[in-house]
Amino acid sequence: LRTFSYSLITCLAIGDFVSALGLPFILITEHLSSNWIFGQFLCQCLNPTQVVCGMVTTNVHTAISVDRYISVAYPFKGKPKRSRKWLIFLAIWLTAILCALPAFIARKLFEIQLPHRTVNICIEIYSSPNAQHIYSVFLFSVNYLIPILVMAVLYSRIMLLIRSVKHRRRKSTPSYLSDESPCYTGYERKFIRMNIVVMLLFVLCYLPYQVFFLLME
């Protein structure tokens, strides 16, 4: 896993793994009717960590699209060196943590006395409902809308570059060698199809999640 692309996929896997570690706590809390039994520390860290992991996933997908665009547009440029690669990984995680910082700060644990029992509620409390709405829109923008626009532009550029290269190749290829051209365009079609599938899967899989939490806030 020394190449940059595989390193990005490893970074993506780490984010998904960390996110999966928090799911049992969330499911147990839902089973207990939102009664939080895991203490102040996990209350303040668990859900915001899910936000961090979601941001990491989005950042990695965006970085992969940038890497693919550079590979197609500048094929002789080469991959980032080790130091720059680690800076990119640091930027991916640091950006995610900074975007989730308000959630870390706003997460509070409250004890509510009911007639027959005491319930601990772990929720986010902001200075005003307007501040919470602004933060939700901000997360929707940086975690979904902007990355989709960036990926759409880059993948569109990739398809245009491949098409222009194919057009130039057809012009420069002698007629008696034209039968060999489909061998190359087949790979190009697969590459374009893969980019479209990745883009559609990202949009369709993330849209319900993002819209649900945006409306819930």
Q: Give the model's confidence band at 38: pLDDT under 50 very low, under 70 low, under 90 confident, else very high.
A: very high
159-173 per-position pLDDT tens digit: 888 878 766 666 665
Question: Is there a domain that residue 7 lies in?
Answer: yes
Whether 13 has a pLDDT exceeding 90, the answer reads yes
Mean pLDDT value across the chain? 84
In a domain, 175, yes or no: no
Number of domains, the chain:
1
Does residue 134 belong to any structural domain of this protein? yes
Answer yes or no: is pLDDT of 158 > 60: yes
Q: Is residue 176 part of a domain?
A: no
Q: Is residue 15 part of a domain?
A: yes
Evaluate whether residue 177 is within a structural domain.
Answer: no
In a domain, 13, yes or no: yes
Could you tell me the residue range of the domain that residue 211 belongs to? 1-168+182-216
Q: What is the CATH number of the domain that holds 121?
A: 1.20.1070.10
The confidence score (pLDDT) of residue 115 equals: 82
Report pLDDT for 183. Answer: 43
Whole-number pLDDT of residue 103: 92
Average pLDDT over residues 52-72: 91
Confidence of residue 184 (pLDDT cuts 50, 70, 90): very low
CA gyration radius, the chain: 23
DSSP notation for 118-177? EEEEEEE--SSHHHHHHHHHHHHIIIIIHHHHHHHHHHHHHHHHHHHHHHHHHHHS-GGG
The pLDDT value recorded for residue 80 is: 73
